[in-house]
Amino acid sequence: MSQDIPYKIYLKENEIPDKWYNVRADMKNKPAPLLNPGTHEPLKLEELEPIFCTELAKQELDDTTPYFDIPAEIQSFYKMYRPSPVVRAYCLEKALGTPAHIYYKFEGNNTSGSHKLNSAIAQAYYAKQQGLKGVTTETGAGQWGTALSMACAYFGIDCKVFMVKVSYEQKPFRREVMRTYGASITPSPSMETDIGRKINEEFPGTTGSLGCAISEAVETAVKNPGYRYVLGSVLSQVLLHQSVIGLEAKAALDKYGIKPDIIIGCAGGGSNLGGLIAPFAGQMLRGEENYRIIAVEPASCPSLTRGKYIYDFCDTGKVTPLAKMYTLGSGYIPAPNHAGGLRYHGMSTVISQLYDDGYLEATTAKQTEVFEAATKFARTEGILPAPESSHAIKVAIDEAMKCKETGEEKNILFGLTGTGYFDLVAYKNYNDGTMENYLPTDEEIAASLAKCPQV
């Protein structure tokens, strides 16, 4: 066991990045623009402003500015839970008997339990700066809702969360954390919005969906003066804020002269993956360096690996702009899967374009394999990982085992996005041996894709 590299590489507080990196600036093939779903024309700032905070809308549309200053207030907040460590997984390596060096960037050591806080605090800040009363959002698994509640409590603005009804009922503890931070949580579909009332009438007793919760949150933002809508993934502004993950990871590794051969991240909407790989992808785009980057999706929701690169709605309710992305079709209903944060039909436009241009690979993992890897990780490295993050663990272990066969001392870096403390129903299913793997058929995916808009 090498003693030169510590178990945890921490940057100093004054080494936390003071700028976010916008990978789009270095892309020759820019992500395709968001389109107005009625006119199919590229969206303009003034069309986004009624829904999004103005500064965030500007960030969303800006694909040329390489760096954005991180405002001082956000830097202060970052100092409460950042820098997050790059951890050398000595104990996992030993258990695997691999010559590979495994590193993970751990984003779970904050009360939201995931990397979502990096963008939540930025979005709450710009809302506060604009003099808004509050923000609205939706949450499914609950990580984003929790992160946003914490951020809004910090800046003293109102936070209205529409929580998919089935999660509201099955995850009372997530709901309670948000309440403790002062957020108001409404089970969706609710009777508080037109769309909610309509859905409740049409489908009495429905337990809701993320698509419906998005529609309710957007309606509430638009109808209430002083409110805007915010989102925790998919958007390019979110990937911009999440670049803090990759910038810190790269700075920490650079301190010890470590170049990762393989970089692995789980991929749902792309917020973590996009953040982790940003500076590395930037080097590749500028022709300075080369890395093998692997996106890991759940086999039950394989947008990159089995979807199509076309224009589609970002939500099931078809109220959002159109985005060109790898998608399974906005009507695709992912089978039950405990990695709720990865159950999204599409993929960030940035990740989609980088994938299409060959800068990254994609693979899938089955749920039971993921929890097998999660359990091995928990027992050796001591951290109970989130189901989402465990997709990356699974592939990191696979790659480390390949090194065992070949004898290669590769450096593997993966993103450990969060902890599984609120996912113990999933662990119970796995421990009880009752967890199942769902795989969509080709026909299912084709049927869903057939309903995408013709652009």
- Are 260 and 412 contacting, i.e. CB atoms less than 8 angstroms apart? yes
The torsion of the CA quartet 298, 37, 58, 25, rounded to 10 degrees, works out to: 60
Distance CA 263, CA 103 (A): 10
Torsion of CA 131, 132, 134, 140, to 10 degrees: -110
User: Is 104 or 227 the residue whose CB approaches its own copies more closely?
Assistant: 104
- Is 13 a binder of its own copies (CB under 8 A)? yes
Residues 79-118 that bind its own copies (CB under 8 A): 79-81, 87, 90-91, 109-111, 113
143: number of CA atoms within 13 Å, CB side?
Answer: 31
169 is a contact residue toward its own copies (CB under 8 A): no
Q: With helix as H, strand as E and coil as C, how does 81-113 read?
A: HCCCCEEECHHHHHHHCCCCEEEEEECCCCCCC
Please report how close the Cβ of residue 419 comes to its own copies at its closest, in angstroms: 7
Q: Which stretch binds its own copies (CB under 8 A): 176-184, 205-213, 259-267, 319-327?
A: 176-184
Residue whose CB is less far from its own copies, 36 or 76 = 76
* Residue whose CB is less far from its own copies, 38 or 382: 382
Q: Does 71 bind its own copies (CB under 8 A)?
A: no
For 333, the token pair is: 């209903």
In the list 182, 226, 331, 453, the residue contacting its own copies (rule: CB under 8 A) is 182
Minimum CB distance to its own copies, residue 152 (Å): 10
Q: Which residue of 8, 19, 133, 451 would you call a contact of its own copies, by CB under 8 A?
A: 8
Of 244 and 322, CB closest to its own copies: 244
Task: Tell which residue, 75, 83, 163, 197, has the closest CA to residue 125.
Answer: 75
The distance of closest approach from Cβ of residue 24 to its own copies in the complex, given in angstroms and rounded to an integer, is 30
Q: Is 285 left (phi over 0), alpha (psi -120 to 50) or beta?
A: alpha
What is the residue whose two structure tokens read 């207030």? Answer: 73
Could you say which of 52, 68, 126, 181 contacts its own copies (CB under 8 A)?
Answer: 181
Which of 146, 448 has the CB closer to its own copies?
Answer: 146
Q: Is 273 in the site for its own copies (CB under 8 A)?
A: no
> What residues numbered 145-164 form the site for its own copies, per CB under 8 A?
150, 153-154
Site string for its own copies, 362-401 (x = CB under 8 A): -------------x--xxxxxxx-----------------
Per the listing, tokens 């303009």 go with: 44
Q: Does 428 bind its own copies (CB under 8 A)?
A: yes
Going by DSSP bridges, is the β-strand pair 67-69/8-9 parallel, antiparallel, or unpaired? unpaired
Taking the C-alpha atoms of residue 120 and residue 323, their distance in angstroms, rounded to an integer, is: 22
Residue count at the site for its own copies (CB under 8 A)? 44
Q: Exposed, middle or buried by CB within 10 Å (0-12, 13-18, 19+), for 232?
A: buried
CA nearest neighbour of 375 among 445, 431, 304 = 431
- Specify whether the CB–CB gap between 135 and 147 falls below 8 A: no
Nearer to its own copies, 64 or 180 (CB): 180
Nearer to its own copies, 6 or 66 (CB): 6
Binding site for its own copies (CB under 8 A): 6-8, 10, 12-13, 76-77, 79-81, 87, 90-91, 109-111, 113, 150, 153-154, 172-173, 176-177, 179-182, 375, 378-384, 419, 421-422, 424, 427-428, 431
